[in-house]
Amino acid sequence: MLRPATEHLGMETFAIPAMDCPEELGLIEKGLKHHAGILSFEPIYLERRLQISFDPRETTPPRIAEAISQLGFPAQIASDEKPADRPSGRPLRWWTTLIGGVLLAVAAVIAIAAQFLGPYLAINVAHATLAAQVLCVLSTLVAGAPVAKAGWRALRLRSADMNLLMTVAAVGALGIGEFFEAATAMFLFGVSLLLEGFSLDRTRRAVHGLAALAPTVAHHIHGDHLHDINPAALKVNDLVLVKPGERIPVDGVVTEGISSVNEAPVTGESVPVEKEASAKVYGGSLNGEGSLTIRTVHTAGESTVARIARLVVDAQASRAPTARFVDEFARRYTPGVIGLAALLAIVPPLLSYLGLELVTGVAPSEWFRRALVLLVIACPCALVISTPVTIVCGLYRAARRGLLVKGGEHLENAALVDCVAIDKTGTLTTGRAEVVRIDAAPGATSDEVLRVAASLEQSSEHPLAAAIVRAARQGGISLQQPSEFTARRGFGVEGRLGGELWFVGSPRMMAAWLPNVADTLDSRQDDATAVCIGTKDRWQGTVYLTDPPRPDAAESIAAMRDAGVKRVVVLTGDRRSVAERIGKLVGADGVEAELLPDDKVARVAKLAEKYPYLAMVGDGVNDAPALAASRLGIALGSGASDLAIETADVIVLAPHLTKVAELFRLGRTVRRRLRENIALSLGIKALVLVLAAAGLATLWIAVAADVGASLLVIANGMRLIGRGKEQAPGSEGT
C-alpha cells in the first residue's frame, strides 16, 4: 500500500487492556492485516495502548476500535477511556488459578495418602488414584479456561502464541496420562501470568509517579484575593503564591520572594537552589522556607513535569535497536522450536516403527511428552518482554535524574558514544560573560558604544548579547528598540536605531561591513571575545568580553573519558585564541574555532566518519543544525534555545556537564542489563531444550523455567528504578 500524503495521514491511540506484550500485538497486527487504511502500529506496552497511523479517507478510529474488539481484544479510543471502563481479566485469572491450585493440592494429598498410608487407612489405591486423576483434570480445565480462550483466539488468527502452545501441551499431557504434570504446568502458568502482571504494574506505577509530582492545588492571586484552584486551570502569565514547604504547581518565573527550592524530582539537582526575582522555577519542585510569588510561563499540561511524563510514555513507542533485534529473533525462534517439537514427536516413533530406533527403550508416548515440553519452551515471552521493560525503566531513571531521553534508541546510542563535540559559549563555559573592556572610536564614548550594542542585542538569544545588555543596565544606560532587526547566524545582528542601520557582531562581520578598518581591532585581547559595533561607513567601537569555563567542565570531560569517550572536541564560532585557551583549561583533545553554523555541521560530519557514535552538546539556535547532524544531539540546560530543545535527542535540564557523562554511564548500564536479560532468557531456554530432548525435563519444569526467566528479566530491568532513587548525582549504579 502506498503511503498517503501527509495531509491525509491520521493517527489515533487505542486503549487495549489485554495487550501487554508483543505476542498480543502480533495477533492484532495479523488480524488487521486486511483492514483498509491502516498504515503502521506503534505499541506502548506498559500503558497497554497502541498508536495506529491510518488513512482517514479509508477508515476511521471507531471502525479500527471495533475491528480490534472483534479480534478478541476489547479496545476503545484512548481519549474516550475512563479508569472505570477498563476491563480486566485479572480477577478471573486469580479465581481460576486459585481454584485450580486447590484442586491440584487436594489431588496431591489423596495420591500421597493412598501411596503411603493406604494399607493403614484401608484406602482403595485404585479408587484414590482415579479420584486424584479426576481432580487433576478438573484443575487443568479450571486453571486453563482463560488460557484456552486466549489460545482459541490465536488459533482463529492462525497464529501460535504461548496460550495456544500451553493449551496444546496440557491437552497432550492429559491424552498420554500425565495428569499431575498437566495440572501442575497449567497452575504454574497461571501464577506466572499473575506475577508478570504485577511486576509490569509496578513499573507502570513508577512511570505514572512522574506525573504525580505536580500538586493538586494552586494559590491563584487575582487582584487582592487568593483563590485555591486546580493547577490545570492556570493560564500563562497568571500569578501564583507558593507557600513554604509546598510544591510549585507549574513552570514560572519568580516575581517576588526569596527561597531555596529542591529541584531534585525534576532536574536531579541534589542541592537546593536559591531562587529570587527573575529566577526560573519548575512545576513539581519543592519550595523551601520562604514564600514565592511566581508568574506562570507554561500551563499545567505543558509544564516540565507533564512533558517529562509524556516523553517517557511516548518514548516507549520507539523501537530501540536491541528491541528490534529481539523481535526479529523471536519471529524465527518460535516456529523453529515448534518445528523441532513436531519432528521429535513424529520422527523417532516412525523410525522405531521401521526398525531404526534412535534410543533403545524409549516409547513413542515418551517422545510425544518430550515434544510437549519443547512446545512450552517455544514461547519467547521472557526474551521479548525483557527489552521494553528494561528500556522503560532506563527512561524513567533518566527522567528522575533530569535527563529527558526522547526514545530507547537514543538511550542505547548513549552507551556507544565514542566522540563528543561540545559547543563553547553557554555549554562549555558559564554562558554568563562579562564586559571587561570597551574601545571607542575617536569622537565616541564607551557609553555610546554600549548603548548601541545593548539596544540591538536585547533582541538576541546569544549569551554574549545578554552580557552586553546586563552591563548597559547596570550602568544605567537607557536602551532603544531597534527596527528591521535581523540575526545573522554565526556573525551577529543588525538593525536600525534612529533611522540608521547598525551592526553588532564578530570581527568577521566588521570585516564584511568595513574591510578597510577591520585591522584596527586590538588583537592583544587574546583571552577575550571581541564584539564590534558600527555602520556601513564607520566603526563605532569594540566591546571585549570574557566567558569563563564552567566550574565542572574539566571534571566533566574527565568523567566522559571514564565513561568510554575516546575524543572530546570543542566547536565554536569564537576566535581561535579564545577557544584554544578554554580548550586547554578544560582538557579537550581538539579545538575547532571561527565556525559558522554550516561549518559546525561539516565538522560534525567529518568527525562522524571516524567516530560513528558522535554526540554533539550545545544550547543555542546556531547549534541546532549540528545537533541534528550528530548521532546523538544533547541540549544542555533549561536555558537552551527552543530550537535546540526540539532538535536534540536528549535534553539535560540541569546546566551541569557532569550530567552528560552520567547519561553515557546510564546508557552503558541499560545496555548491560539488556545483554544480561537476553543471556538469561536464551540460556534458560537452551538448558531446558537440551534437557527436554534428553528426556530429563518435565512439562512443569519447562513452565517453571519460563516463569523464572520472565521474572528474572523483569526484576533485573527494574533494578534501574530502585537504584535510580537512591543514587548520589554522578554515580553510575550497577
Q: Is the dihedral of CA 562, 564, 567, 571 positive or negative?
A: negative
Q: Which amino acid is it at 224?
A: D
Tally of CB atoms within 10 A around 83: 5
- φ/ψ of residue 693, rounded to 5: -60, -30
Phi and psi torsions of 38, nearest 5°: -85, 130
How far apart CA 73 and CA 685 sit, in angstroms, is 29
Give CA–CA dist 636/662, Å, rounded: 13
Catalytic residue among 20, 423, 619, 623: 423
Q: What percent of the residues of the chain are helix, what percent strand, and what percent coil, each to the nearest 5?
A: 55, 15, 30
Distance from C-alpha of 86 to C-alpha of 72, rounded to nearest angstrom: 15
Q: Any idea what DSSP says for residue 42?
A: E
Query: Is 423 a residue of the active site?
Result: yes
Q: How far apart are CA 688 and CA 702, in angstroms?
A: 6
What is the Cα–Cα distance from 128 to 139, expressed in whole angstroms?
16
227 Rama class: left (phi>0) / alpha (psi -120 to 50) / beta: beta
Vertex 183 angle, CA 179 and 187, to 5°:
170
**Residue written as cell 515434544?**
371
Q: How far apart are CA 489 and CA 245, in angstroms?
A: 44
For 666-702, b/e burial (b = at least 16 CB within 10 A) is bbbbbbebbebbbebbbebbeebbebbbeeebbbbbb
Q: Are 709 and 382 in contact (CB under 8 A)?
A: yes
Give me the sign of the Cα torsion angle 667, 670, 672, 674.
Answer: negative
Residue 3 is classified by DSSP as P
**Gap between the Cα atoms of 194 and 317, Å rounded:** 24
Catalytic residue set: 423
